[in-house]
Amino acid sequence: MGKFIKICLSGCLIFALCFVSVPAFGKGQVMTRVKVIHASTGQNYLDPGLRDIISELETVFKYTSYKLLKEKNLNQSFNRQSRVNLPGKRTLVIMPLDTNDNRIRYQINILKNKNSVFQTRILLRNNSSITIGGPKFNNGYLLFNIAGAVQ
Amino acid sequence: MKTKCSKYTSEEISRFVDNELFEDQYKTLAQHIEQCPHCSELSNQYKTLSTVFNNHVHEKENLKIDKALLEQKFDRVMQNHEKIPWGNIFGFSKKYILVKLTSIAMISLISLFILQKALFTPTGPSAIVKYVDTDYSSVMIIETQKEQHTIIWFNET
């Protein structure tokens, strides 16, 4: 039975190692990915680049066409602003502030003609995303899918 | 005290004792040994050593080896080497091996289940909106049912 106990202990060790190997939620860099989407009721089209979020958007919106206009990956430091140019003389200003309970605190501003038209502060779950939408563009609407992950 | 003899080397005397010299050399050295106490003593020492050695060899020759038994033993050892000792890999004994393997499998499954719950199940909405400030009056905050994906919708009119 001594060997059996050893085996059980080995199992527990592997289990413990699994927990240890889970990366700590530290305060390094933040990888932010911004997807600019054009949603409309035009001809049916689902952009292959939006496969991961389309199913979620379709549960809320009744648009028939989702086109990925732009995708930008930002390797950000905390409290450092990044800007993404958006269609229609708009600019997205995004800044990770800190982390809290497996979430990243972001300050997000949308400017139009250099004037702030929308601003929000969110706690985004690590390795998750939020969609901000509303601005009209080309017989449809613009959606901004923002995903964040602590490096 | 016996004086050392420089006429013959110890090797030549050893060869004399072992009867490895030519006949004339043997006779000459035999005559010398009769007269030289040093060489005589050396020769006696070699003879004693040779006798002890020969006796030991004869004793070994008297030991009988059972070849059939030896072959049988050899075959048995070879057969054991060919068998893969599955039962002893990682220190397992064959006894209760199924119970042990099942236990390990169960521990692994429970670990995976707990890890999956802890790491992969979303807790709460994808984003918690702390505040929204806009020049436009209509703002909606939506959370999808399936993945709890957060959507902020504002009317830009």
Residue A123 is part of which domain span? 28-150
In this predicted structure, what is the pLDDT of residue B61?
64
Of the candidates B123, B131, B156, which has its C-beta nearest A120's C-beta? B131
Residue A122: its chain B contacts at CB < 8 A? 127-130, 150
Contact B147/A56, CB-based, under 8 Å?
Answer: yes
User: Any idea how long chain B is?
Assistant: 157
Tell me: the pLDDT tens digits for B26-59? Answer: 999 899 999 998 899 989 998 898 888 878 777 7
- What is the total count of domains within chain A? 1
* Residues counted in chain A: 151
Threshold 0.80, pTM exceeds: no
Contact indicator for A81, A95 with CB cutoff of 8 Å: yes
The answer as to whether A42 is a domain residue is yes
Domain boundaries, chain B: 10-62, 65-121, 122-157
With CA atoms as reference, the chain B residue closest to A24 would be B119
Residue A123 inside a domain? The answer is yes
Instruction: Please state the φ and ψ torsions of residue A147, each to the nearest 5 degrees.
Output: -115, 145
For this complex, say whether ipTM is above 0.90.
Answer: no
pLDDT in tens, A127-149: 999 999 988 888 899 999 999 99
* pLDDT value, residue B1: 46
Task: For chain A, positions 16-35, list CB contacts with chain B under 8 A.
Answer: 18-19, 22
Of A48-57, B27-36, B61-70, the range with the lowest mean pLDDT is B61-70
Residue type (1 letter), B156: E
Contacts with B, A 85-104, CB within 8 Å: 102-103
CB within 8 Å: A12 and B144: no
Q: Which of B108, B136, B146 sits opposite A56 (nearest CB)?
A: B146
- Is the residue at A4 inside a domain? no
